């Protein structure tokens, strides 16, 4: 295990961890040394190490188990660097603007849906939530993304306000692309997303305006936080990572 060459320390730590994966020094099922020992081996502070471990945990490569330690969940994806060069999320400004716009539209939609949704629409919302759960269980990301978009479109229709639905439809195409890209890069987002949708569905079904707004606000916060973490990852260009290809192929 090589000592880290200092630049931005957490970035150098991430580069070294990536190198260890690619060299076969870390593989699925391995337990990492405790943070004190690993930080000492790499010649960095625990804070810098934690930031890098968190980055790989977000990417679904590591699992941090309280009271046990950090375990390798699976191999580093061969296209690790390329994952962060997808057409939409490679543009931080555009992504943040999309998340901001969604927050205002989605929170307003769920607030109105609590008041105006028909019993048929509530039943359909529940059905979509069950379909998303089934897609998540079988690891079918594409089906989950379709269900996710349909869930939010149904909320927009349930407002009883055609202008709110039009606003949603304006965002739908880019929103579906965003969701798909996000789950490719951050697969662990899917479990949290499903739980968020369940809470939103339950609150709307009970016509609990306060909880519905809180659940949607939390969902949007989770998305924004995940994207913030993603851009922390993309600040690093792993030295040994495969060369990036253009977005077109």
State whether CATH 1.10.10.10 applies to domain 9-76: yes
How much of the chain exceeds pLDDT 90, in percent? 33
Q: What is the pLDDT of residues 111-152, one digit of tens each?
A: 999 999 999 999 999 999 999 999 999 989 889 988 998 999
Q: Using the predicted structure, report yes or no on whether residue 237 has a pLDDT greater than 50.
A: no
Distance CA 119, CA 15 (A): 53
Which CATH superfamily includes the segment(s) 83-234?
GntR ligand-binding domain-like (1.20.120.530)
Going by C-beta distance under 8 Å and a sequence separation of 6 or more, which residues neighbour residue 20? 1, 26
- What's residue 55's pLDDT? 66
Q: Are the C-beta atoms of 201 and 126 separated by less than 8 Å? A: yes
Mean pLDDT of the chain: 79
User: Where do the domains of the chain lie?
Assistant: 9-76, 83-234
How much of the chain exceeds pLDDT 70, in percent? 78
Of the spans 14-18, 38-42, 82-86, 193-197, which averages the highest pLDDT? 193-197
Q: How confident is the model at residue 44 (pLDDT cuts 50, 70, 90)?
A: confident
- What's residue 10's pLDDT? 58
- What's residue 242's pLDDT? 36
DSSP output for 187-198: TTHHHHHHHHHH
- What's residue 186's pLDDT? 75
Other CB atoms within 10 Å distance of the CB of residue 170: 12
- Is 32 or 212 the better-scoring residue by pLDDT? 212
- What's residue 118's pLDDT? 96
- What's residue 249's pLDDT? 32
């Amino acid at each position: 295990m090589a000592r880290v060459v200092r630049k931005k320390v957490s970035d150098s730590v991430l580069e070294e961890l990536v190198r260890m994966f690619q060299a076969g020094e870390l593989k699925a099922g391995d337990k990492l040394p405790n943070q004190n020992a690993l930080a000492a081996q790499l010649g960095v502070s625990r804070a810098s190490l934690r930031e890098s471990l968190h980055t790989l945990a977000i990417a679904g490569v590591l699992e941090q188990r309280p009271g046990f330690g950090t375990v390798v969940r699976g191999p580093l994806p061969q296209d690790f660097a390329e994952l962060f060069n997808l057409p939409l999320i490679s543009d931080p400004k555009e992504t943040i603007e999309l998340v901001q716009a969604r927050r205002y539209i989605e929170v307003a939609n769920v607030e109105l849906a609590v008041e105006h949704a028909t019993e048929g629409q509530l039943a359909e919302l529940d059905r979509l939530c069950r379909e998303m759960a089934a897609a998540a269980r079988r690891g079918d990301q594409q089906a989950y993304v379709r269900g996710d978009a349909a869930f939010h479109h149904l909320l927009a229709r349930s407002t009883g306000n055609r202008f709110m639905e039009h606003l949603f439809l304006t965002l739908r195409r880019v929103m579906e692309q965003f969701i798909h890209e996000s789950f490719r890069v951050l697969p662990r987002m899917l479990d949290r997303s499903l739980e968020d949708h369940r809470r939103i569905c339950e609150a709307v079904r009970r016509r609990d305006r306060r909880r519905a707004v809180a659940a949607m606000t939390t969902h949007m916060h989770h998305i924004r936080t995940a994207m913030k973490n993603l851009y922390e990852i993309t600040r690093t260009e792993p030295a040994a990572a495969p060369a990036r290809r253009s977005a077109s192929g």
